[in-house]
Chains A and B, each alone.
Chain A
């Protein structure tokens, strides 16, 4: 249970637990599954995996460029590498390897950005990964997935195992409740509607999805019916669902644990400004974070149900 839940609140989960269980299950089923990591066996929750599959755990040490290049070479040999490292270093340090060795060379690997967004609160902006979605969605032929909860994390991993090219997925550390239907298959490129509404649409990804649902409930008390879309695949984006939402609800609020310039909100704006322009608010992280734990930083940046409600009311005014 997270510290900030109130009595009666739903149970919350660290998605890394589901991730580790699913990865071990997939490795038992399929000998092609290997892990490549950067001294991140503990932080990626891979201790049990590395004990069960020592030969298939390739820890290259603190060397992210090598980590991604090695993954491409493993993929060349017919293996399916799950590349596990803290999201800021995996995405930032190895950006060119992700572009050239995986995406442009079209090698199948699953890049698992662990503890993304503001999860590393007090460790500060060096360890925050709020740029990853913006950086990586600029790369052709790379799928970018931000699962909302443990169930969606598992489902996205299953889908990514069978993908043809490289996939980047965030694996959340910040605790979240299960909000997507348990057992649902992951459909890449499809936004899922978690709540119906006609007055505005909240498009959320990752840890912000449950907050969007809370915000929609609060807006409902004020007579505003907010649609909630879970945009788990940032790239390729579900343009049709977004255009439909814009046409039917007339206003869009996006909310994510990413930078406000070039992240998921930017991707939504790229679609809508060309196909169905409507008033929008993009909620996210506007600048390097000050000192504070994740909970404080979410409050600070308005990445809370109350913050989403404020933005929605401004837009509706």
Chain B
């Protein structure tokens, strides 16, 4: 626990802000520098590293939401290493693209991606949810560079993203806004208030990505409060809606970089909760179950890490 004490701020016990990391391989540059046809395979390799990082982080902390972390891993990897115009060394760069993880309980996935994207040193992941760590169970933008909003309460990310998109329009900027939503989260009405507003305003710079893994905390979404026909629902709100395989880096890269037609875009990314680890995949109890040491070892072995 003593390693945590460096975060204790003598002014009042508040954790210090993490500093942007120097060093480490620039994976986004590797993707950008590769021939376009090769980028998906590089992203697939990075995504496997992201999954291994998530499993180690959650296993060490004995805390996390492993199922959703693994289902959203390819989406976040594709965004941060293949799509977003961001500067890890200058996280508040005003004209950056915005990424909002509305399903904030998958913080370990976001932190793992941010660490590998050099927003902060990967060693900091060892402090995940430890006392006074900046890495809370849900992300805090005041503590973690690369985080835009303190999400965790569901249904908050999309209205925030609408505000970001309107601000970009007022600034005459081309910057883009991506909001990653859980599928169960769409049962919160605030999403549909925001969807209506974005459709009405024709916010083409805004992309919502639904991590459509079909499971929420207690059961399948369709058994709890039905979401289908999901893409049609978004279209009815004035959005372009696209169904893709949420683990196919080529498809994700293509849809995230496709020019918009003046409408906001919803990407319904069909995913498997727990993707990549056999005993976690598509099992409702792994929403926030913690793996044992043996399970961590098995999961890493399955990933070849």
A interface residues with partner B (beta carbon < 8 Å):
34, 36, 55-56, 58, 60-61, 63, 65-79, 81, 96-97, 100-101, 104-106
Residues of B within 8 A of A73 (CB): 149, 159-167
Minimum-distance CB pairs A-B, first 6: A73-B163, A69-B159, A77-B167, A66-B193, A63-B193, A70-B163
CA distance A206 to B165 in the complex (A): 36
The stretch among B52-60, B68-76, B150-158, B279-287 that forms the contact with chain A is B150-158
Residues of A within 8 A of B167 (CB): 73-74, 76-79
Residues of A within 8 A of B148 (CB): 76
A68 adjacent to B159 (CB under 8 Å): yes
CA distance A101 to B152 in the complex (A): 10
In the assembled complex, B98 has its CB within 8 A of some CB on chain A: yes
Residues of A within 8 A of B163 (CB): 36, 69-77, 81
CA distance A69 to B163 in the complex (A): 7
A100 adjacent to B156 (CB under 8 Å): yes
CA distance A70 to B160 in the complex (A): 5
Residues of B within 8 A of A97 (CB): 156, 159, 190
B interface residues with partner A (beta carbon < 8 Å):
94, 98, 140-142, 148-153, 155-156, 158-168, 170-171, 189-190, 193-194, 196-197, 200
A65 adjacent to B141 (CB under 8 Å): no
B152 adjacent to A100 (CB under 8 Å): yes
Give the dominant DSSP class at B's interface: helix
B162 adjacent to A66 (CB under 8 Å): yes
Number of residue pairs spanning A and B whose beta carbons lie under 8 angstroms apart: 108
Q: Measured between C-beta atoms, what is the minimum distance from A54 to chain B in Å? A: 12
Q: Which of B142, B160, B168, B200 touches A101 (beta carbons < 8 Å)?
A: B160
Interface centre among A60, A65, A66, A67 (most CB of B within 10 A): A66
Q: Measured between C-beta atoms, what is the minimum distance from B135 to chain A in Å? A: 16
A105 adjacent to B170 (CB under 8 Å): no
Chain A residue at minimum C-beta to C-beta distance from B95: A77
Q: Measured between C-beta atoms, what is the minimum distance from B204 to chain A in Å? A: 16
Chain A residue at minimum C-beta to C-beta distance from B197: A60
A63 adjacent to B197 (CB under 8 Å): yes
Q: Measured between C-beta atoms, what is the minimum distance from B17 to chain A in Å? A: 12
Q: Measured between C-beta atoms, what is the minimum distance from B264 to chain A in Å? A: 13
The contact sample of 15 A-B pairs, CB cut-off 8 A, is A60-B193, A61-B196, A63-B194, A65-B190, A69-B156, A69-B159, A70-B159, A72-B160, A73-B161, A73-B163, A74-B167, A76-B148, A77-B164, A96-B153, A96-B156
B164 adjacent to A76 (CB under 8 Å): yes
Residues of B within 8 A of A69 (CB): 156, 158-160, 162-163, 190, 194
Contact A65-B193, Cβ < 8 Å, known A73-B159, A76-B148, A104-B150: yes
Q: Which of B168, B190, B193, B197 touches A77 (beta carbons < 8 Å)?
A: B168
A105 adjacent to B142 (CB under 8 Å): yes
CA distance A106 to B148 in the complex (A): 11
Contact A56-B170, Cβ < 8 Å, known A66-B159, A69-B160: yes
Residues of B within 8 A of A55 (CB): 170
Chain A residue at minimum C-beta to C-beta distance from B152: A100
Q: Measured between C-beta atoms, what is the minimum distance from A32 to chain B in Å? A: 10
A101 adjacent to B162 (CB under 8 Å): no
Chain B residue at minimum C-beta to C-beta distance from A60: B197
B197 adjacent to A66 (CB under 8 Å): yes
Residues of B within 8 A of A72 (CB): 149, 159-160, 163
CA distance A64 to B167 in the complex (A): 18
Residues of A within 8 A of B193 (CB): 60-61, 63, 65-66
Residues of B within 8 A of A76 (CB): 98, 148-149, 160, 163-164, 167
CA distance A55 to B158 in the complex (A): 21
Chain B residue at minimum C-beta to C-beta distance from A55: B170
Q: Measured between C-beta atoms, what is the minimum distance from B141 to chain A in Å? A: 6
B153 adjacent to A100 (CB under 8 Å): yes
Excluding A70-B160, A72-B159, 9 further A-B contacts by CB distance (< 8 Å) are A55-B170, A61-B200, A66-B162, A66-B190, A73-B166, A76-B167, A77-B166, A100-B152, A100-B156
Residues of B within 8 A of A104 (CB): 140, 150
Residues of A within 8 A of B155 (CB): 65
Residues of B within 8 A of A105 (CB): 141-142, 149-150
B196 adjacent to A63 (CB under 8 Å): yes
Q: Measured between C-beta atoms, what is the minimum distance from B154 to chain A in Å? A: 10
Residues of A within 8 A of B140 (CB): 104
Q: Which of B142, B152, B165 touches A106 (beta carbons < 8 Å)?
A: B142
Contact A74-B166, Cβ < 8 Å, known A68-B159, A69-B160, A101-B156: yes
CA distance A261 to B8 in the complex (A): 36
